[in-house]
Amino acid sequence: MKFIDEAIIHIESGSGGAGSINFRRQKFIPRGGPDGGDGGKGGDIIFVADHSLSTLLDFQYKKNFKARSGDPGQRQLKSGSDATDLIIRVPQGTLFRDQKTGELLADLSQHEQSFTAAKGGRGGKGNHFFKNSINQAPRKAQPGERSQIKDILLELKLLCDVGIIGLPNAGKSTLLSRISNSKPKIANYPFTTLTPNLGVVRVEEKKSFVVADMPGLILGAHQGIGLGIKFLKHIERSKLFLHLIDISDSSDPLARFKQINEELRLYNPRLLKKNQIVILSKIDTLQNTKKIIGYIKQFKEQGFKTLAISAASGEGIKELIYTTHEELARS
């Protein structure tokens, strides 16, 4: 399924029903008093988080949502019926912003968490409400309260335990397909992953964690270059980063590692406080094991837990899964 992480929608709650102007008319009661009922309340528009949903794709096709209005009041002091609320289910992790101001309105990070985006109008009072000692036969009633109309920006940030980060073509999608149930598109060129892929990694019975393979970063990503901001905003909720570095590349692995971390710092310095495990990938392409050992020592001296793997052959994958699970348990 195509991953859509933003959508703009137009919503309108229901208007309140109008109050009724009516007078009691019964045989033998020629001058009955006012008995116009109140109008019913308009429907709210309520969003509810649902962990079974994973994209905002539906909102690309249906962008307008309107709740029903309350019914008008009736004679014999009968109130109009309240309109039912319009419930709209969205993926867990959806953020709501005012389209005009950018103000954050809500963050539905928990399953079944709800947000009332537009309240239905109150029903108007019928003419019975305005009866008093001076005016025994009021000929006025309130109209229903108007609906609320808003343009809302929906943003979906992935909710995952682990984010796989690294430069384009570092082998992130191959690793995700190896350790989880995800089947991302894989090819040997940069930006194969154009949108985040999610996978569930099962460690053992009843123990698992969610991993996201993120689109590759390049220099200037914090300014929107490459896949830029669309990538960076998805990693903010990850508890742990697997920082994948392709050691088949002849350039300095530590320099590439620092390049990615600098982009994280420029986007949001708090990202550097998250735990990172350095993963040296594609070790099957190197015959010189001393070189691999040297790289591991280099990163460990920088204070990072470091593992060497080959997603192609499976070497080091089991250790990676258990190490990641242990680190998550500590975080």
For β-strands 86-91 and 240-246, DSSP reports them as unpaired
CATH code at 162-330: 3.40.50.300
Q: Where in the chain is the domain with CATH 2.70.210.12?
A: 6-156
Q: Tell the CATH superfamily of the 6-156 domain.
A: GTP1/OBG domain (2.70.210.12)
Q: What is the DSSP letter of 65?
A: E
C-alpha of 172 from chain center: 22
Q: Which two tokens stand for residue 201?
A: 């990694």
Per-residue pLDDT of the chain (331 residues; tens, 9 = 90+): 334 468 899 999 999 999 999 988 776 666 678 999 999 999 999 999 998 777 787 887 899 999 999 999 998 899 999 999 999 999 888 999 999 999 999 999 899 999 999 999 999 999 999 998 888 889 899 999 999 999 999 998 666 788 888 887 667 778 877 887 555 443 343 333 445 677 778 787 667 787 877 765 555 444 444 444 556 666 777 889 999 999 988 889 999 899 888 888 888 888 889 999 999 998 988 888 888 999 999 999 999 999 999 988 889 999 999 999 999 888 7
Query: How crowded is residue 74: how many other Cβ atoms within 10 Å of its Cβ?
Result: 19
pLDDT of residue 202: 79
Enumerate residues 6+ apart whose C-beta is below 8 A from 230: 5, 215
Q: Are 125 and 38 in contact (CB under 8 A)?
A: yes
Query: How crowded is residue 30: how many other Cβ atoms within 10 Å of its Cβ?
Result: 7
| Degrees, nearest 5: CA angle 212-282-158 | 5
In this prediction the pTM is 0.57
H-run or E-run covering 149: strand 149-156
CA 248 – CA 213 distance, rounded (Å) = 20
